[in-house]
Chain A
Amino acid sequence: MLKGTQSKKRLVLFIAFGWALLILSNQVGDLKLYQGSFVATYALAITSIILLTGYSGQLSLGHSALMAVGAYAGALSIFNAGLNPIVSLIIAVLAAGTFGLILGVIAARLSGPYLAGTTLALAVSLPTLANQFSILGAEEGIVFDVGPAPARFGEDFSQYKWFFWISSLAALIMVWFIANLLSSRYGRTFKALRDNSIAAELSGINVGRVKVMAFALSSGVAGLSGALLVMLISGVSPSAFPLSLSFALLTGAVVTGLYNLKGVILGGLVLVAIPEIADSLVSRIGGSEGFTTTLPGFLVSALLILAVVFTPNGPGHLIKRKHHKQKVL
């Protein structure tokens, strides 16, 4: 009964949030909408890392490669097969999920630094493999064009608003699904595996199977965010998924808090806002081009240190703790 109420509450919350975004999209300009689309996309990618690392305890340094798999699958289904963009996003999830499943089976016996090393190697090598197959369009890549918004939305409905709607809706649905999953038996199984795999095994949990499942699910979510990312830049190519993207997402996940999904939007915001903050700081206080280009990296590092020191479990956890304290008092 309690579980049902929680689930309903979550659904209402997500629908309300969706409505708020819909209203917001009519109030802000194209630039903010474009930035908002990136926030939604990165929030989704961070969700996939939290699912894998925070919940099931498997460290991945190669999420950009999993995103690339989804991105290429989605792009091919639009560019070559001429499928509907919605179908292409679903294909992106399935293709990346299947890839994650296979990778999960191979890597099931690995953990800790060995798994991190394997995923790191994947992030380095997989995108460049795309250069080997002409169907993947080499370095120029292939177009990922979701087309203009339906005519019924009117002529003033911009490309950026269309991007915002698609990425926000996709992110909301997927995060809602993952949040429900993590509050179910599967979520508890993942946590048990993360906290003590031997104890989990003794409790009758099939550790290998759960690990593979977490990997496949996380990959599917990463694949969707990869497809959304290349939608925003109108095409997919190997250089769209550099190793630095994996590290940036991991940073976003740490700032968010690895053990809950409450702050994923904050993680996405951080990744999008840092260069903007750096820009406005430089324009106010002045400085050389070198200063401008190194400031974002410095700000991210500072934020990471502050997050680890003051909110190691993320701001969402901090709010929860305060709420709990108030209840006790």
Chain B
Amino acid sequence: MIRNKSMRRASLVSAIVATGAMVLSTLPAQAATPGVTATEIKLGISSPLTGSAGLSYGKVPGAMKAYFNYINANGGVYGRKITLISRDDKYLPTAAATQTTNLILKDNVFALVGALGTATHSKAYKAAALAKNNVPDLFINTGFSGFTDQTKYPTTFMVLPTYAMEAKVIAKAIKDNFAGQASFLIAQDDEFGTDGVAGFKTAGHTFTLAPILYPQGSMTSARAEAALTGLSAVPGKPVVVLFGTTDVTATILKAAEKLALTTKFTWYAGSVGADANTLLALGVKPTTVNGVISASFMPDAKDLTDPYVKQFADINTKYNKGITFDNYVLAAMNSAMLTVQALRAAGKDLTRAGIMSAIEAKGSTFASAGLVPLGYSATSRIGYNGYWVSQLNEKGEGKPYGGKLVIYTTDSGAGAVEVSTFVRPTMPKNGIPTNS
């Protein structure tokens, strides 16, 4: 009896101890989700605020903060306010590595959002041990197809389509609209340009001459003039595809102005290098900008008839005072809206693994300003998977080429470029997502 009693006591004690241990072992795990408290979710972004890249991309963190402040003012995400900690990486790999590490180890953020640049982010990803720590790396601003490799970047979700996709869409547009004309490619000689070159090759497009490749930062006026002089000897009205950043597009277009060659060519600027506001600000004449063809996956920031654009422009006016609303601000606020939906889809018990699973499961249905579909799934970390072809006018507005909006979707590999009937989801009321 005594023996039974003592055994029972021992069983009871061990049961209590085991239950206690289980509770204790689960409690710290929940409480220990970095960057998440009952009232706050801390996110981080490492991007250029200073230096030449900071001139254009420096607006990104501010625009994201503005949208998050708008959400915070309207109740936050399940009652939690979003705090975005921004660190300046000057578009330098060393700074990106240290700043991203600071965000993880010092600022203790829950996730990263909107990191920018391939050379910078590929270093930062490894240096900050994002994969090892399972840190969600959300909606990065680079189209380098290498980031789709889930073995190397298991926590990364892209938002931009890949450069290879863009090249394939441009190749189709040239084939459909400028067959018979010579075509040339002037591209940045790095992963950006080479990804594009690979895309043209996959699409079966052959340029009349070998692509003119230049290292980043090396395209001077003299070099641009020499290149254009050489190409101008070709008869007809050749298509010149510019696959570089907007400042280089401006250098080349101004060289064409100087040589009186603006009407000699049909200009086709890639999405990265066709920000009309920047082109005009850098001194390209409105008459030159008029007619430049480009590819985009977002609506034009000047199109205030678009409900998403109008909503984001209103938020910008109220929460991002003094900042001009342009394509960079629009894209940044759109990424912020995707982030809020991802946080909501992950549920009230927010975990790092949970938010990544939520994007995989529901990300393709998130509301966004993008005019092309989102491609998130268990096997794909690519965001937008297509483009529409636009043409700039003198005011710098991007209008559908040929007067009709045609959406093309494709992949980064050998898949065909197809016309899509995609209709984007309706904007959440007042731009505040309520998904779950």
The interface-forming segment of B97-105, B220-228, B299-307, B309-317 is B97-105
Whether the pair B92, A235 counts as a contact (CB closer than 8 A) is no
Count chain B CB atoms within 10 A of each CB in A30, A229, A238, A293 and give the residue with the most.
A293
Whether the pair B123, A233 counts as a contact (CB closer than 8 A) is yes
Whether the pair B88, A131 counts as a contact (CB closer than 8 A) is no
Which residue of B49, B102, B215 is within 8 Å of A128 (Cβ)?
A: B215
Which residue of B119, B126, B132 is within 8 Å of A140 (Cβ)?
A: B119
Whether the pair B101, A140 counts as a contact (CB closer than 8 A) is no
Whether the pair B49, A237 counts as a contact (CB closer than 8 A) is no
Which residue of B50, B102, B191 is within 8 Å of A138 (Cβ)?
A: B191
Whether the pair A235, B132 counts as a contact (CB closer than 8 A) is no
Whether the pair B216, A34 counts as a contact (CB closer than 8 A) is no
Q: Which residues of B contact A138 (CB under 8 A)?
A: 189-191, 194
Known: A143-B126, A233-B97, A293-B50; 7 extra A-B contacts, CB below 8 A, are A34-B105, A128-B215, A140-B122, A141-B123, A235-B93, A235-B123, A239-B120
Contact with B along A112-150 (1 / 0, CB 8 A): 000000000000000010011000001111010100000
Q: Which residues of A contact B144 (CB under 8 A)?
A: 140
- Given the complex of chains A and B, what is the CA–CA distance between A98 and B101 in angstroms? 34
Whether the pair A131, B215 counts as a contact (CB closer than 8 A) is yes
Contact A234:B101 (CB < 8 A) given known A139-B191, A289-B86: no
Which A68-89 residues have a C-beta within 8 angstroms of B? Answer: none
Whether the pair B126, A239 counts as a contact (CB closer than 8 A) is no
Whether the pair A235, B126 counts as a contact (CB closer than 8 A) is yes
Whether the pair A240, B118 counts as a contact (CB closer than 8 A) is no
Contact A159:B129 (CB < 8 A) given known A31-B105, A131-B190: yes
Which A231-285 residues have a C-beta within 8 angstroms of B? Answer: 232-235, 237-240, 242, 245
Closest A-chain residue to B102, C-beta based? A31
Whether the pair A289, B62 counts as a contact (CB closer than 8 A) is yes
Answer whether residue A29 sits at the interface, using C-beta atoms and an 8 A cutoff: yes
Contact with A along B107-142 (1 / 0, CB 8 A): 000000000001110111011010010000000000
Answer whether residue B413 sits at the interface, using C-beta atoms and an 8 A cutoff: no
Chain B: minimal CB distance from A96 (Å): 18
Q: What is the interface of chain A, defined by CB distance below 8 A to chain B?
A: 29-31, 34, 38, 128, 131-132, 138-141, 143, 145, 159, 229, 232-235, 237-240, 242, 245, 289, 292-294
Q: Which residues of A contact B204 (CB under 8 A)?
A: none
Contact A132:B215 (CB < 8 A) given known A140-B144, A239-B92: yes
Whether the pair A29, B105 counts as a contact (CB closer than 8 A) is yes
Chain B: minimal CB distance from A141 (Å): 6
Closest A-chain residue to B87, C-beta based? A279
Whether the pair B102, A139 counts as a contact (CB closer than 8 A) is no
Which B157-195 residues have a C-beta within 8 angstroms of A? Answer: 188-192, 194
Q: Which residues of A contact B192 (CB under 8 A)?
A: 139
Q: List 24 A-B contacts (CB under 8 A).
A: A31-B102, A31-B105, A31-B106, A34-B98, A128-B215, A128-B216, A131-B189, A131-B215, A138-B194, A139-B118, A139-B119, A139-B191, A139-B215, A141-B93, A143-B126, A159-B129, A229-B94, A233-B127, A234-B97, A237-B93, A239-B120, A240-B94, A240-B123, A289-B62
Whether the pair A140, B146 counts as a contact (CB closer than 8 A) is yes
Q: Which residues of B contact A140 (CB under 8 A)?
A: 118-119, 122, 144, 146, 190-191
The 8 closest A-B pairs by CB, nearest first: A139-B190, A234-B126, A233-B97, A131-B215, A31-B105, A140-B191, A233-B123, A240-B93
- Given the complex of chains A and B, what is the CA–CA distance between A128 and B217 in angstroms? 9
Q: Which residues of B contact A139 (CB under 8 A)?
A: 118-119, 188-192, 215-216
Answer whether residue B430 sits at the interface, using C-beta atoms and an 8 A cutoff: no
Q: Which residues of B contact A132 (CB under 8 A)?
A: 189, 215
Q: Which residues of A contact B119 (CB under 8 A)?
A: 139-141, 237, 239
- Given the complex of chains A and B, what is the CA–CA distance between A250 and B86 in angstroms? 29
Chain B: minimal CB distance from A178 (Å): 24
Q: Which residues of B contact A289 (CB under 8 A)?
A: 49, 61-62, 86
Contact A293:B49 (CB < 8 A) given known A140-B144, A239-B119: yes
Q: Which residues of A contact B61 (CB under 8 A)?
A: 289
- Given the complex of chains A and B, what is the CA–CA distance between A239 and B191 in angstroms? 13
Q: Which residues of A contact B120 (CB under 8 A)?
A: 239
Count chain B CB atoms within 10 A of each CB in A128, A131, A242 and give the residue with the most.
A131
Whether the pair B123, A237 counts as a contact (CB closer than 8 A) is yes
- Given the complex of chains A and B, what is the CA–CA distance between A29 and B106 in angstroms? 10
Q: Which residues of A contact B57 (CB under 8 A)?
A: none
Count chain A CB atoms within 10 A of each CB in B62, B215, B217 and give the residue with the most.
B215
Chain A: minimal CB distance from B51 (Å): 9
Chain A: minimal CB distance from B95 (Å): 9
Q: Which residues of B contact A294 (CB under 8 A)?
A: 50
Closest A-chain residue to B48, C-beta based? A293
Chain B: minimal CB distance from A205 (Å): 39
Q: Which residues of B contact A232 (CB under 8 A)?
A: 94, 97, 127
Q: Which residues of A contact B384 (CB under 8 A)?
A: none
Whether the pair B101, A293 counts as a contact (CB closer than 8 A) is no
Which residue of B92, B102, B105, B217 is within 8 Å of A240 (Cβ)?
A: B92
Q: Which residues of B contact A235 (CB under 8 A)?
A: 93, 122-123, 126
- Given the complex of chains A and B, what is the CA–CA distance between A31 and B127 in angstroms? 12
Whether the pair B105, A30 counts as a contact (CB closer than 8 A) is yes
- Given the complex of chains A and B, what is the CA–CA distance between A191 and B102 in angstroms? 42
